[in-house]
Amino acid sequence: MLFFCIMELLGEMMTYFPITFRQDVIKRVFQFLTAGDSCLIVGIGSVGKSNLLRSIQNEEILPVYLQDEKDDFLIIYVDINKVLEYSSWGLFELMLHQMFMALSSKIDDDKVLNAVDDLHQRAIHPETRYLAFRFADRAVNLIYQKLKLKLVFIFDEFDSICQKLLPRDFSALRALRDDHKYRLMYVVATRTELDHLREDPGEIESFEELLSPNIIWLGPYSEIDANFMLQRLSTRYNINLDERVSHELLVATGGHPGLLRVAYRIAIDHPPHLLDALLLNSQILVECERIWHSLDSEEREALVYLAMNRGLIERYDVILTRLHHKGLIGGPWTSQNAIFSPLFVEFVRLQRIVTGEDIQIDRERRLVWVEDRMIEGLSPLEFRLIEYLETRRGQVCSRDELAEYLYPADMAYEGEGVSDARLGSIVTRVRKRIEPDPENPKYIVTVRGHGYKLLEEQADAG
């Protein structure tokens, strides 16, 4: 564990990224900046927003996108995790501090550096700290007037402070930009759109309208970037994975940066059943929770619906489009309308009661309700049958599929199998538990010659 902690710290110090890293996203960022526009980068939890923002400052990248203008920009990286307090003073003090840090690595003009440092010192002095915005305003004006530099403020992890700032603080940020139009831009990174972060979006409208027309969605890695990150992990830990295991990792994680980083560590031990090992790992659960908590209730509901293999329905169209933008549906390692990662699919299935018209299943507590009546005393095998049919609600499940799911050991043993009578017996037992009339089932119905399926409404059954 100590080894991994040390290597993780060393990894955070490795800021080099190739020019092709997140190329499509970075290209769009610089298109906005060179036009004098601000932009909003929206990405789910642990999707690599910070690595992306740091790569924008790469000295090898700037000439590619800014060309002859590369020396005309001062890029100021403001990591909100560094704020001394979540307030307007905390934000403007940090902006001043980061302006000084960015300048000190770019210019040798002691006069300007000392002037900005003096403004920062006045901003932290107890008697004048309430004027922090005024000092930040002066620093911005000084940098432009003396150095003719265009300023780009990159706000990383903006979600938390966005919920704490007063409406006038957003107006101040907007006014700062308006005073230096086309010479001062914001690049803001959040887990969701800004108007989803405030109970009253109107409070931040003046600032949000700078960003909302220019949203850039950041999803999991592309194939090229995912393979680069795998190689980077191999270099960091000095352990290479074979091609088969690497491919399994990419499929399992869908190229999600946080999942991929954790899964790589697990794969180092080369477990024989990698997907099972990943599903049981607590750190994988933590990464899935980070994704889950960056979504709103409608997005979660749509994902649960998809995870239950119910396909797509019209009322989720707008939400599903948003989930596509966020990279939670589709991707290089799954189909266009499927959730991006089988690890996340399994997580989603356990998050809440899945409700059909008549049947409710709580997978976490292994409970079943039928028409608001809790079915008590189900055996593990009986619960697994209902659970499997629920995941395929409305679809025919063949006898072989059910047997494979319910009796995997028997099906795997060569020369053995599961008889129709044995399978029929468990179906009969479950019908007796959940059906109002087991002889005329309305939920688990037989599809002659094929198997069984779970219905939500009354149906004629054989």
Check whether 70 has a pLDDT greater than 60. Answer: yes
Output 290 or 371, whichever has higher pLDDT.
290
pLDDT confidence band for 87 (50 / 70 / 90)? very high
pLDDT confidence band for 13 (50 / 70 / 90)? very low
Token digits for 164? 């704490």
pLDDT digits (tens, 9 = 90+) for 91-126: 999 999 999 999 999 998 899 999 999 999 999 999
Concatenating the DSSP letter of every residue in 248-283 gives HHHHHHTT-HHHHHHHHHHHTT--SSHHHHHHT-HH
pLDDT digits (tens, 9 = 90+) for 185-215: 999 999 999 988 998 999 999 999 999 999 9
Output 136 or 272, whichever has higher pLDDT.
136
Check whether 457 has a pLDDT greater than 60. Answer: no
What is the rounded distance in angstroms from the CA atom of residue 360 to the CA atom of residue 447? 23
Mean pLDDT of the chain: 87
pLDDT confidence band for 16 (50 / 70 / 90)? low
CA 253 to chain centre: 12
Q: In the chain, what are the domains?
A: 17-218 (3.40.50.300), 223-349 (no CATH), 354-454 (1.10.10.10)
pLDDT confidence band for 60 (50 / 70 / 90)? confident
- Name the nearest CA neighbour of 76 among 57, 49, 52, 51: 57
Output 189 or 362, whichever has higher pLDDT.
189
**Which stretch of 63-67, 108-112, 392-396, 424-428 has the lowest confidence by average pLDDT?**
392-396
pLDDT at position 403 is: 86
Q: 107 and 147 in contact (C-beta within 8 Å)?
A: yes
Check whether 7 has a pLDDT greater than 60. Answer: no
Check whether 447 has a pLDDT greater than 80. Answer: yes
- Taking residues 351-378, report their average pLDDT: 70
Listed in sequence order, the residues at least 6 apart from 344 whose beta carbon sits closer than 8 Å to its beta carbon are 254, 256, 259, 288, 291, 328
pLDDT digits (tens, 9 = 90+) for 375-405: 877 888 898 899 888 888 888 898 888 888 8
Listed in sequence order, the residues at least 6 apart from 376 whose beta carbon sits closer than 8 Å to its beta carbon are none
Check whether 297 has a pLDDT greater than 80. Answer: no
- Taking residues 285-305, report their average pLDDT: 87
pLDDT digits (tens, 9 = 90+) for 223-281: 999 999 999 999 988 988 889 999 999 999 999 999 999 999 999 886 778 888 898 88
pLDDT at position 422 is: 87
- Taking residues 10-38, report their average pLDDT: 81
The torsion angle over the Cα atoms of residues 20, 24, 29 and 35, rounded to 10 degrees, is 110
pLDDT digits (tens, 9 = 90+) for 326-336: 999 999 999 98
Alpha helix ranges (H) inside 68-198: 88-104, 110-124, 132-147, 159-162, 167-179
Q: 345 and 275 in contact (C-beta within 8 Å)?
A: no
Check whether 374 has a pLDDT greater than 80. Answer: no
Q: 367 and 374 in contact (C-beta within 8 Å)?
A: yes
Output 199 or 11, whichever has higher pLDDT.
199
Mean pLDDT is highest, among 240-249, 369-378, 447-456, for 240-249
Counting residues of the chain whose pLDDT is more than 90, the rounded percentage is 58
